[in-house]
Copies of this chain bind each other. A is one copy, B any other.
Amino acid sequence: MADTRRNSALRELTRQAVRARIAEAAMALFVANGYERTTVDHVAESVGMSARSVFRYFPTKEDMVVGHLDEVGVKIADALEARPTTESAWTAVRHALKHHIEELAADPETNLAIATMLIDAPSLLPALLAKQARWVDGLAPNLTQRLDGPLNLRPLKARAIAFAALACLNNAVDEWTRTGGAKPVGRTLDALIAAVRG
């Protein structure tokens, strides 16, 4: 009976499609002309809709860049859940991050372009860090179970480790970007984690 459910599923599908289309166009403009110099009106025009409608798909301009990072965070969290419970917190996160790294390396060209754009868009750094801070919320619960010591401290420890691991990841990716994709992220990441634990 052509229930409203199929209807809403379809709407959600097209909605996601439009969203992706906007994000793609926006990223292209940002990479080409720089983030700050590209106005939302430009993006809107390039997709053929009004700026008001663009804001119906993205809460902020920043979200056109960092919006997809939410699902990246979820993916990393999933990868973490998939690790055997016997693994220590650090080894588990390290492996969970590897998956994300492989995605980076899969399309180096695009990702390097994006990373380069981020560098001269200082207003995006805060947004980026804030997104990653939210990743910690997804990682901490699982990490908590891999820790010992006083119960009330474990969640805190888990968050600290998660942050530290992401800091290692960021620096490894930065180095990768700086060297134009030469240095493999995975190796650097391992070295940094070892240093932090040193």
Contact residues of A with B, CB < 8 Å?
89-90, 125-127, 129-130, 133, 147, 149, 153, 156-157, 159-161, 163-164, 167-168, 170-172, 175, 188, 191-193, 195-198
> What are the residues of chain B within 8 A of A126 when measuring CB–CB?
126-127, 129-130
Chain A interface, DSSP helix/strand/loop, else mixed: helix
> What are the residues of chain B within 8 A of A175 when measuring CB–CB?
156
Q: How far is A197 from B165 in the complex, measured between Cα atoms in Å?
A: 11
Q: A164: which of B149, B167, B172 is its contact (CB, 8 Å)?
A: B167
Q: How far is the CB of A60 from chain B (nearest CB, A)?
A: 10
Contact A156:B125 (CB < 8 A) given known A163-B167, A164-B163, A167-B167? no
Q: How far is A128 from B196 in the complex, measured between Cα atoms in Å?
A: 23
> What are the residues of chain B within 8 A of A195 when measuring CB–CB?
147, 149, 153, 157, 160-161
